[in-house]
């Protein structure tokens, strides 16, 4: 039992160390500046949300889909949109904190 505990402890520390080293290396060797990376990510998130909305709206007239499924999918889309906005606001806040800019009023 003690050997198994050592294994899991080593696994945890190895994963934590790997994540830390990966994060540091990613920051040091990032191909784009933080703002550029944020814009790329936000553009991809917006594109994915737009595609999901298009698919949802194009299937509105399709009677094969259940109304409950439509409602649930719209809730998922709305939740994803809200979470993406929260993440982008947090990223902007972190960038402002790092650069020393004053905080702006967020929704």
C-alpha to C-alpha distance for 99 and 88, rounded to whole angstroms: 16
C-alpha to C-alpha distance for 87 and 69, rounded to whole angstroms: 27
Are 21 and 40 in the same domain? no
- How many residues are present in the chain? 107
The beta-strand segments (E) located in 1-107 are: none
**CB-based contacts of 32: which residues, under 8 Å, 6+ apart?**
40
Are 22 and 40 in the same domain? no
Q: How many CB atoms lie under 10 A from the CB of residue 96?
A: 13
Are 68 and 84 in the same domain? yes
Are 50 and 62 in the same domain? yes
> Which tens digits make up the pLDDT trace of 47-90?
888 888 887 777 655 555 567 777 888 888 888 888 888 888 88
- pTM exceeding 0.85: no
> Which tens digits make up the pLDDT trace of 37-50?
778 888 888 888 88
């Amino acid at each position: 039992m003690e050997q198994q505990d050592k294994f899991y402890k080593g696994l945890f520390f190895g994963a934590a160390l790997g994540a830390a080293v990966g994060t540091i290396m990613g920051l040091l060797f990032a191909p784009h500046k933080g703002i550029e990376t944020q814009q790329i990510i936000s553009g991809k998130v917006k594109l994915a949300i737009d595609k999901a909305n298009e698919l949802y709206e194009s299937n509105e007239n399709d009677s094969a889909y259940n109304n409950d499924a439509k409602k649930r999918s719209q809730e998922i889309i709305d939740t994803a949109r809200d979470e993406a906005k929260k993440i982008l606001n947090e990223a902007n806040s972190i960038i402002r904190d790092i650069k020393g800019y004053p905080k702006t009023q967020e929704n």
